[in-house]
Copies of this chain bind each other. A is one copy, B any other.
Amino acid sequence: MNAEIVAVGSELLTPFRQDTNSLYLTEKLNELGVDVSFKTIAGDARPHLTLVAQTALSRADLVIFMGGLGPTEDDLTREAVAEALGLELWRDPQILESLGKRFAARNMKMTPNNAKQADILTGATVLANSSGTAPGQWISGKYEGREKIIVLLPGPPHELKRLFEEQCMERLRSKLPPAFIATRVLKVAMMPESQCDARVAPIYRRFTDVTTTILAGAGEIQLHLKARAPELQTAQGRVDRLAGELEDELGDAVFSSQGESLEQIVGYFLQMRNATLAVAESCTGGLLGERITSVSGSSRYFLGGAIVYSNQLKADFANVPEELLKKYGAVSRLVAVALAEGIRERCHATLALGITGVAGPSGGTPEKPVGLVFHALAREAGTEVVERNFPGDRKRIRWFATQQALDMVRRRLM
- Measured between beta carbons, the chain B residues less than 8 angstroms from A13 are 26, 35-39
Q: Is the CB of A289 within 8 A of B303?
A: no
Q: Is the CB of A304 within 8 A of B302?
A: no
- Tell me if A265 counts as interface (CB < 8 A to partner B): no
Interface string of A51-73 (1 = CB under 8 A from B): 11001000100000000000000
Q: Is the CB of B224 within 8 A of A16?
A: yes
- Measured between beta carbons, the chain B residues less than 8 angstroms from A308 are 304
Q: Is the CB of A37 within 8 A of B48?
A: yes
Query: For chain A residues 9-61, which have a beta carbon within 8 Å of chain B?
Result: 11-18, 20, 23-24, 26-27, 30, 35-43, 45, 48, 51-52, 55, 59
- Measured between beta carbons, the chain B residues less than 8 angstroms from A222 are 16
Query: For chain A residues 275-298, which have a beta carbon within 8 Å of chain B?
Result: 279, 281, 283-294, 296-298
- Measured between beta carbons, the chain B residues less than 8 angstroms from A41 are 38-40
In the complex, A30→B59 CA distance in Å? 30
- Measured between beta carbons, the chain B residues less than 8 angstroms from A361 are 296
In the complex, A15→B395 CA distance in Å? 25
CB distance from A123 to the nearest CB of B (A): 27
Query: For chain A residues 294-326, which have a beta carbon within 8 Å of chain B?
Result: 294, 296-299, 302-310, 312-313, 316-317
Q: Is the CB of B394 within 8 A of A294?
A: yes
Q: Is the CB of A292 within 8 A of B296?
A: no
Q: Is the CB of B30 within 8 A of A38?
A: no
- Measured between beta carbons, the chain B residues less than 8 angstroms from A312 are 303, 347-348
- Tell me if A132 counts as interface (CB < 8 A to partner B): no
CB distance from A267 to the nearest CB of B (A): 13
Which positions in A face B, CB cutoff 8 Å? 11-18, 20, 23-24, 26-27, 30, 35-43, 45, 48, 51-52, 55, 59, 213, 215, 222, 224, 279, 281, 283-294, 296-299, 302-310, 312-313, 316-317, 346-348, 359-362, 394-395, 398
Closest 3 CB pairs of A and B: A285-B293, A286-B289, A286-B286
30 contacts between A and B (CB under 8 A): A11-B213, A12-B39, A13-B26, A13-B38, A18-B18, A37-B43, A37-B45, A37-B48, A38-B40, A38-B52, A39-B40, A48-B59, A51-B59, A285-B286, A286-B288, A286-B289, A289-B289, A289-B290, A290-B290, A294-B394, A296-B394, A298-B309, A299-B310, A304-B308, A304-B310, A305-B313, A310-B347, A312-B347, A316-B347, A317-B317
